[in-house]
Amino acid sequence: MPAKDAPSLPPTALAVLGILSFGRELSGYDVKKWADSSIRFFYWSPAPSQIYAELRRLEGLGYASSRDAPDGDARGKRLYKITAAGRRELRRWLRDAPAEPPVLKHGVALRVWLGHLADPDTLRATVEAHRDYCTHMAEGLERSHAVAEEQPDFAYPALVTEWGRRYYEAERELAEKMLVDLEDLAARG
């Protein structure tokens, strides 16, 4: 019986455990692919090396169990599965831990903030690149959404992918407005 006053796992561990919580038996490699195709759009995707480390930690805590892949499958492959204790821990976290405020590190905004030091053309190009990046992310989320809607147990992920699409849509519009404001500022001098 682990976890007395469990000092709450780091975000990455929770995220990995969360991926396992959909019930599939996954290798570290699989977890990385999942992360890349879903949570990386609104959270982030840990480095492979850390995923393996987190899986070992989760197993150590009894939140996941693992077994070697059956013969015929790639040798050395290890499959992880969430345990009842792991599911309990996730539920506990969702219920008890206050939601941390979203972390936003917006390098583009920082650059505009420092506009007095930048060449106007570079600045504009930066914001335009960001606008295109938003379009790109929105497209990624559409694909992710399509996948989620096929699976009956992915109702919540589908909600979030749709939320994410709207988010990047809005971000794109904000970039568009920013370009106008930048133009105005340059005109007024």
Partner DNA sequence: GGGAGCATGTAACGGGTTACATGATTGG
Partner DNA sequence: CCAATCATGTAACCCGTTACATGCTCCC
Give the C-alpha separation, 43 to 116, whole Å.
32
Identify what 104 binds: DNA, its own copies, none; CB under 5 to 8 Å per kind: its own copies
Closest approach, Cβ 115 to DNA, in A, equals 22
Toward DNA, which CB reaches closer, 51 or 123? 51
Terminal C-alpha separation, the chain: 67
Beta bridge partners of 79: 67
Toward DNA, which CB reaches closer, 31 or 141? 31
Identify what 128 binds: DNA, its own copies, none; CB under 5 to 8 Å per kind: none
Toward DNA, which CB reaches closer, 48 or 120? 48
Query: Measured on CA atoms in the order 44, 50, 52, 55, is the torsion positive or negative?
Result: negative
Give the C-alpha separation, 35 to 51, whole Å.
10
Toward DNA, which CB reaches closer, 79 or 108? 79
Identify what 82 binds: its own copies, DNA, none; CB under 5 to 8 Å per kind: none
Identify what 6 binds: its own copies, DNA, none; CB under 5 to 8 Å per kind: none
The angle at the Cα of 41, spanning 66 to 123, to the nearest 5 degrees, equals 145
